[in-house]
Amino acid sequence: MTITTGAGDIDRRLLMDRSVPRRVAFTVPDSDVPFQKLPDSSYLRDDVELPEVSQLEVVRYFSVLSQLNFSIDTNFYPLGSCTMKYNPKINDELANLPGLADIHPLQPEETVQGAIRLLKSLQDDLGEITGLPGVSLAPLAGAQGEYAGLLITRAYHAARNDAERTVAIVPDSAHGTNPASAAMAGLEVATVRSDDHGNVDVENLRELADGRTAVFMLTIPSTMGLFEPNILEIIKIIHDAGGLVYADGANLNALLGIVKLGDLGVDICHSNLHKTFSTPHGGGGPGSGPVMVTDELAKYLPKPVAEKTENGYVLAIPEASIGPINGFHGSFSIAARAYAYIKSLGLEGLQSVSENAIIGANYIQAKLKDKYDLAADRYCMHEAVLSASRQKKRGVAGLDIAKRLLDFGIHAPTMYFPLIIEEALMVEPTESESRETLDHFIAVMRQIDDEIDSTPELIHEAPHDLPVTRLDEAKAARKPVLRWTAEG
Ligand SMILES: *Cc1c(COP(=O)(O)O)cnc(C)c1O
């Protein structure tokens, strides 16, 4: 047998395939407590095949596994609408301080004054940033923030004996959670069209807004990565019709320190701490989507809301609260990370975050627009929405480009969203990437465009060098294999 060498040879065997009978990773010390009877043998299974491996094998297995995925700590990750920005490590350090990490949600309030004060301070900062001073940190995700905001809308109309208002108007470019949250909150969804420039079609909105309008949900900046130029007029149309304006501020990355949603006339918004405020995300959580409202609506906020009283900090229930929307106070350790982020930047620093995010996206747009169509040929905000429609005509779809980018160590941009843009590739570089990284991305995107004419098979078969190569998308959707089984 010949043994070949290769520095890049990484052992990618499954843990099960490393198993050797009776090998162990850990030896339990002799028991120093009285022996307990085993459970009835009918509860014990002997058909569970478990790997028998040494501790070193386990460490190697998980260390390799942790490297097989893309993450913001390993790769450029321009996933539009998801704001994969750098998660500063000082945030983790702060959140892991024993006074913040080793506390329990049911502990008496007087023993966790510092933690509640942190929540109050974060509430105040989010109120200041959005111009909407009533804040609850309870929602565990952006979608839950939307849901809370829509329940607040319903409570507001119900309190005014205006319960006929059951329609949520949502733009056709909206994030899918918007209509879904509206439906969950018991509202009917009416879709307003976008015009040729990607803005809300104001005339269409005028036709839709009436005595049944409960709320209009607008993503700001829009999912096209654009600032809505008619925003003041739009808000006036909705207010004149008696409805409330909800801003989806999941991605406030373009507006920090520049625009306050409350100043525009927005009544309610949410923001994702796991996007705009640099807390980690992916893998299903933990997330955090605080909901912010005007003073008038603050009494409806979900509980709890941190408050300062004469007797110190308390977790209060607002007067006409929609109630709890989950257990306890939301994602505390995530709130602590966002607090660290905001405090370490200060309001001025936050403004430069947005300025740099906007410059980065516009730089990419300007450097690629001769090769790729733009969703809208004007300055964008923090994300550039490209279209691969010209490439599609030459035989390479947006999906193929996204797959080929993986070969260059770049995570795919968001694809086929917003839905109204053909072959959409939504690129969000964020403020945390360097000029060199952006230049590398631009060069790769230009090279892929050249490859369409020279070596299209390279694109069609990509990715070539990843642990998982090209998937059968249809089969993956129809017959997903969701867990590992011994049979393989
Ligand atoms: C991500 C996102 C949401 C949903 O946030 P989750 O935390 O995933 O529930 C809502 N709206 C917009 C515009 C988003 O980008």
pLDDT tens for 159-211 read 999 989 999 999 998 888 999 999 999 999 999 999 888 889 999 999 999 99
Measured in Å, residue 402 CA sits from the centre of ligand 1 at 21
On whether residue 380 sits in a domain, the answer given is: no
Angle formed by the axes of helices 113-130 and 332-368, nearest 10°: 30
Residue 4, in any domain of the structure: no
CB atoms near residue 255 (< 10 Å): 26
Residue 33 lies in a domain: no
pLDDT attached to residue 417: 85
pTM: 0.90
52, 22 contact by CB (below 8 A): yes
Coil, strand or helix at 355 = helix
Instruction: Kindly report the CATH number assigned to the domain that includes residue 235.
Output: 3.40.640.10
Please identify, by atom number, the ligand 1 atom nearest to the C-alpha of residue 289: 7
Q: How confident is the model at residue 94 (pLDDT cuts 50, 70, 90)?
A: very high
Cα(173) to ligand 1 centroid in Å equals: 13
Minimal-distance CA residue to ligand 1 atom 6: 142
pLDDT-derived band at 335, boundaries 50, 70, 90: very high
**Atom 8 in ligand 1: residue holding the nearest Cα:** 142
Going from the Cα of 152 to the center of ligand 1, the distance in angstroms, rounded, reads 19
Task: Choose the weakest-confidence range: 29-43, 114-128, 316-330, 349-363.
Answer: 29-43
Whole-angstrom Cα distance, residue 119 to residue 414? Answer: 32
Is the CB of residue 444 less than 8 Å from the CB of residue 401?
Answer: no
Is the predicted pLDDT of residue 487 greater than 80, yes or no? no
**Residue bearing the CA closest to ligand 1, atom 5:** 142
In a domain, 79, yes or no: no
Pick from 79, 81, 146, 252 the residue to mutate for probing ligand 1's pocket: most ligand atoms within 8 Å of its CB.
81
**Atom 15, ligand 1: residue with shortest CA distance:** 81
For residues 186 and 155, what is the distance between their CA atoms, to the nearest angstrom?
12
Give per-residue pLDDT as tens, 43-72. 888 888 889 999 999 999 998 888 888 888
What is the gyration radius of the CA atoms in the chain, in angstroms?
26
Residue 416 lies in a domain: no
pLDDT at 283 over 70: no
Q: Which atom of ligand 1 is nearest to the CA of 177?
A: 10
Indicate whether 147 belongs to any domain.
yes
| SS3 assignment, position 433 | coil
**Which pLDDT value is given to residue 362?**
97
pLDDT at 1: 60
CA 304, chain centre distance (Å) = 23
Spatial CA neighbour of 276 closest among 360, 222, 341, 336 = 341
User: Best substitution site from 272, 331, 334 to test ligand 1's pocket, by max atoms within 8 Å of Cβ?
Assistant: 272
Alpha carbons 78 and 80: distance in angstroms, whole number: 6
H-run or E-run covering 426: strand 424-427
Contact 156, 244 (CB under 8 A): yes
Of residues 36 and 321, which shows the higher confidence score?
A: 321
* Ligand 1 atom closest to the CA of 145, numbered from 1: 9
Residue ranges around ligand 1 (CB below 6 Å) = 81, 141-143, 175, 177, 219, 248, 250-251, 272, 287, 289
> Over the stretch 284-319, which tens digit does the pLDDT of each residue have?
568 999 999 999 999 999 999 999 999 999 999 999
Give the separation between CA 143 and CA 222, rounded to whole angstroms. Answer: 16
C-alpha of residue 162 to centroid of ligand 1, in Å = 29
Give every CB contact of residue 125 below 8 A, 6+ residues apart in sequence.
339, 342, 343
Yes or no: say if 67 and 38 are a contact pair by the CB < 8 Å rule: no
Distance CA 367, CA 35 (A): 72
Give the nearest ligand 1 atom to 174 CA.
13
Return all residues near 109 (Cβ < 8 A) that are at least 6 apart.
116, 312, 313, 314, 315
Amino acid 376: pLDDT: 87
Q: State the distance from the centre of ligand 1 to the C-alpha of 175, rounded, in angstroms.
A: 7
Residue whose structure tokens are 């405090």: 343
Atom of ligand 1 nearest to the CA of 274: 7
Nearest Cα residue to atom 3 of ligand 1: 142
- Whether residue 189 contacts residue 183, with contact meaning beta carbons closer than 8 Å, is answered with yes
Centre of ligand 1 to C-alpha 448, Å, is 30
Q: Is residue 144 part of a domain?
A: yes
Return the biggest CA–CA distance within the chain: 84
Mutate to test the pocket of ligand 1, among 81, 84, 150, 177 (most ligand atoms within 8 A of CB): 177
68-92 average pLDDT score: 91
Domain that holds residue 162: 89-345
What mean pLDDT, rounded, does the chain reach? Answer: 93
Residue 82 CA to ligand 1 centre (angstroms): 7
C-alpha–C-alpha distance, residues 327 and 444, integer Å: 46
Whether the pLDDT of residue 324 is over 70: the answer is yes
Cβ contact 222:174 at 8 Å: no
For residue 176, the CA-to-ligand 1 centroid distance in Å is: 8
Instruction: Give the pLDDT confidence score for residue 124 in this predicted structure.
Output: 98
What is the band of 77 on the pLDDT scale with cuts at 50, 70, 90? very high
488 pLDDT band (50/70/90 cuts)?
very low
Strand ranges (E), 83-178: 134-136, 167-171
If you measure from the C-alpha of residue 35 to the centroid of ligand 1, how many angstroms do you get, rounded to a whole number? 52
Number of helical H runs and strand E runs in the chain: 15, 13
Task: Check: CB of residue 250 under 8 Å from CB of residue 276.
Answer: yes
**281 Cα nearest atom in ligand 1:** 7
Q: Which of 278, 280, 325 is nearest to 305 (CA)?
A: 325
Helix, strand, coil percent content, the chain, rounded in steps of 5: 40, 10, 50
- Distances in Å between the Cα of 63 and the Cα atoms of 58, 94, 112, 359, 466 are 8, 25, 36, 36, 16
Mean of pLDDT values over 386-403:
96
Is residue 229 one of the residues assigned to a domain?
yes
Residue 426 clears pLDDT 50, i.e. is over it: yes
Q: Looking at the DSSP assignment, which residues form a beta bridge with residue 194? A: 200
Q: What's the structural domain count of the chain?
A: 1
CA angle 396-173-265, nearest 5°?
Answer: 150
